[in-house]
Amino acid sequence: MVESALKLERARYERSALVEWLTTVDHKKIGILYFWSSLAFLLIGGLLALLIRTQLIVPDNTFLGPQTYNEVFTMHGTIMIFLVVMPLNAAFFNFFVPLMIGARDVAFPRLNAFSYWAFLFGSLLLLSSFLFGAAPDGGWFGYANLTSSRLYSPGLNIDFWVMGLQVLGVATLASALNFFVTIVNMRAPGMSLMRMPVFVWMTLVTAVLILLAFPSLTVGLVMIMFDRYFGTNFFNPAAGGDPVIWQHLFWIFGHPEVYILILPPMGMISEILPTFSRKPLFGYTFVVFAGIVIAFLSFGVWAHHMFAVGLGPVPNAVFATTTMLIAIPTGVKIFNWLGTLWGGAIEMKTALLFAASFIAMFTIGGISGVMHASVPVDYWQTDSYFVVAHFHYVLFGGSLLAIMAAIYYWFPKMFGRMLDERLGKLHFWLTLIGFNLTFFPMHFLGVDGMPRRVFTYSADMGWDLWNLVASIGAYLLGASTLLLFVNMLTTLRKPADAPADPWDGRTLEWAIPSPPPAHNFDVVPVVRGRDAFWIEKYGAEEVVGPAPERHGAESGHNPHNPHNAGSGDEAGHGSSAGHGQSAHIHLPPPSWFPLTTAAGLTLMGAGMVVHATESLASLGFPIVGLGIAMVVVSLLGWTFEPIHEESHA
């Protein structure tokens, strides 16, 4: 009865598969779109990394040439940060945050779809620069006045970078707002803040970081745009401007950005280690507050990227101290993860191996970060290969290893199929060895005085050996990443037979089928403690903290069983699905407007790039106008779109 009613409800929106994906507002589908898009970009970014390592494999190499090399390292960094790690995190935010807090969707489903399409189109705008032979070449950090003056960067390269990042920034801000509201407003009854899974906590903290940090990048990019297009002189020293202002604006964004990239993976680790140890996270409160403290401090450390700028010893001393302080909450997290494993019943699945290796690799990146905090040492290490080693231990050894763990952990829930464990373990070992072979020797190159961002080096510098080793490691790493794709693609051809709870999970997403139905929960679950699903499975002696205050919590709930539910407080859910009356679950209707709004926004950016061309400049502003018109019409349509009386939007 329930099923047929649901089908009836959904039949109204039956469309072709393509239209379904283009117009979807389902957080799970959007999560899957993010997932595959960013994995595709991972292949592009990885390929660029292999080009870098091929150019540097021997001294005086002429494989790429300076211009191409500069484009390649710029795009490698930009892609890996904005098009891979952030959207991979977003893929998991989208798919799992609503499930983990017992919600049926995010707070603003259409805004969510808009975020995805703006991300995709912004990425394509950025990547399209390759087609015009004008890929950005100013570094991912885009230091003014090299980037802000057409005198020093005459081509379209930087224009693509500025416009692409602006579109991506809008997507990111919209998404952060959405998840902030979702987590604050849409938690299931009983899911108090201190009962939220740590991944949800870290998503919330990341959303706040994005909301506070991205405006600074936006402002900086607008200033570069005005300097390049309209003759302003924000960063032009000849006219009284100062290029160092860009560095402040960029790193006020850029350092929190590091935590935007690493806090969600820390959340993933905090889910995966407990699951495979069959123990709750050790020191939950400390881990959560450590994350909050890291986020707070991250706004007070930006100038540690600028120790060599010459701000003077007093500012440097302040920023060195705040930077060292960040190591304390980070250390607390690491010890709590070790405490989680300690005394557990650890199951050596691929996800656990990746998560455990995260702890060791991230520790290396963390302690080399402390070295940089020592200002005099940083005078040497900054802009040398030592720093390249450091942040790859943080962003690959940290973020990406954790994301790999999350892929193995959550793939069954997303696609209903278990990834192959043998192939997974091979992938893990090759990744761990290839990663260390690539990046550990870069510490040595740093000691040997090799600067970053150089397209070549001469044979008499004595840097050949470690560059060769790093390049071999990079090829190994590339091959291991292909194994992940082989694993995923072969697994997707198998029947979808994954159980709802393959890992003996602790959080709510494991309470529902794999993959979850469109409406997620037949009945909104009532949460009786941390590790809500574990408590449902193994009993109430595990309950931590006070029982839920809301009504309907006294009976024993099994989220599997819709007939066993109380009439949970549905405030904020927009639908009232009590007592198994699933027919009343209203899903937000699909919509074209998020996609068209995002397309209009991207068109505005593309028009600005066209305006900077020599031959087609006159077309530029008309295209921008078209984009604006498209955004306005789409937003009007969005506003007046007939929505179901009980839709979430």
Partner 1 sequence: MTRGRLWKRSLVVALLSLLPVIASGCAVIGGSPQSVNRPAGDSMRKIWDLFVPIFWLSVLVFVLVTAILLFALWRFRRRPGEDRRPEQLHGNTRLEIAWTMVPAIILAIIAVPTLSLMFELDRDPGPDALTVRVIGHQWWWEFQYPEYNVVTANELHVVVDRPVRLEMDSEDVIHSFWIPRLAGKRDVIPGWNNVLSFTPEEVGTFPGQCAEFCGIQHANMKFQVIVQTQEEFDAWIRQQQQPAAEVPADPLAARGRELFLTPANACIGCHAVAGTDAKGQVGPNLTHVGSRGIIAGGVLENTPENLAQWLRNPQAVKPGNKMVLPRQLTDEEIEALVAYLMSLQ
Hey, which residues between 309 and 348 contact partner 1 (CB under 8 A)? 309-310, 312-313, 316-317, 320-321, 324-325, 327-328, 331-332, 334-336, 338-339, 341-348
What backbone phi and psi angles, to 5 degrees, belong to 248?
-65, -50
Which of 461, 482, 486, 492 contacts partner 1 by CB under 8 A? 461
Residue type, 191: M
Which of 454, 486, 629, 636 contacts partner 1 by CB under 8 A? 454
Check if the beta carbon of residue 368 is closer than 8 Å to that of residue 389: yes
Tokens matching residue 211: 């909301």
- Residue 286 Cα to chain centre, angstroms: 23
Q: Is 278 in the site for partner 1 (CB under 8 A)?
A: yes
- Interactions with partner 1, residue window 364-383 (CB under 8 A): 364, 367-368, 370-371, 373-380, 382-383
Q: Is 284 in the site for partner 1 (CB under 8 A)?
A: yes
Which of 7, 8, 15, 152 contacts partner 1 by CB under 8 A? 152
Which of 410, 463, 510, 521 contacts partner 1 by CB under 8 A? 463
CB of 276 to partner 1, least distance (A): 9
Q: Is 452 in the site for partner 1 (CB under 8 A)?
A: yes
Instruction: Calculate ∠ Cα 588-573-3, nearest 5°.
Output: 60
DSSP 12-28: TT---HHHHHHH---HH
CB of 557 to partner 1, least distance (A): 19
Q: Is 32 in the site for partner 1 (CB under 8 A)?
A: no
Task: Name the packing angle between helices 27-55 and 66-78 (round to 10°).
Answer: 150
Check if the beta carbon of residue 104 is closer than 8 Å to that of residue 54: no
Which of 21, 63, 286, 485 contacts partner 1 by CB under 8 A? 286
Cβ burial, residue 325 (10 Å; 0-12/13-18/19+): middle
Sketch the per residue contact string, 464 through 503, with partner 1: x for CB under 8 A, - otherwise. -xx--x----------------------------------
Q: For residues 127 and 40, what is the distance between their CA atoms, to the nearest angstrom?
A: 12
- Residue 298 Cα to chain centre, angstroms: 17
- Interactions with partner 1, residue window 517-556 (CB under 8 A): 538, 542, 544
Encode 153-202 in three state secondary structure. CCCCHHHHHHHHHHHHHHHHHHHHHHHHHHHHHCCCCCCCHHHCCHHHHH
CB of 150 to partner 1, least distance (A): 13
CB of 534 to partner 1, least distance (A): 8
Sketch the per residue contact string, 49 through 78, with partner 1: x for CB under 8 A, - otherwise. ----------------xxx--x--------
CB of 647 to partner 1, least distance (A): 40
Residue type, 535: I
Using the minimum distance from each CB to partner 1, give the nearer residue, 85 or 355: 355
Q: Is 459 in the site for partner 1 (CB under 8 A)?
A: no
- In terms of Cα–Cα distance, which of 501, 474, 533 is closest to 48? 474
Number of residues that bind partner 1 (CB under 8 A): 106
CB of 87 to partner 1, least distance (A): 26
Using the minimum distance from each CB to partner 1, give the nearer residue, 67 or 232: 67
Which of 145, 178, 350, 481 contacts partner 1 by CB under 8 A? 145
CB of 160 to partner 1, least distance (A): 17
Tokens matching residue 502: 């393959």
Q: Is 81 in the site for partner 1 (CB under 8 A)?
A: no
Check if the beta carbon of residue 179 is closer than 8 Å to that of residue 97: yes
Residue type, 565: A
Sign of CA dihedral 273, 278, 281, 283: negative
Q: Is 174 left (phi over 0), alpha (psi -120 to 50) or beta?
A: alpha
Residue type, 165: L
Using the minimum distance from each CB to partner 1, give the nearer residue, 432 or 601: 432
Which of 449, 556, 622, 625 contacts partner 1 by CB under 8 A? 449
Sketch the per residue contact string, 111 through 140, with partner 1: x for CB under 8 A, - otherwise. --------------------------xxx-
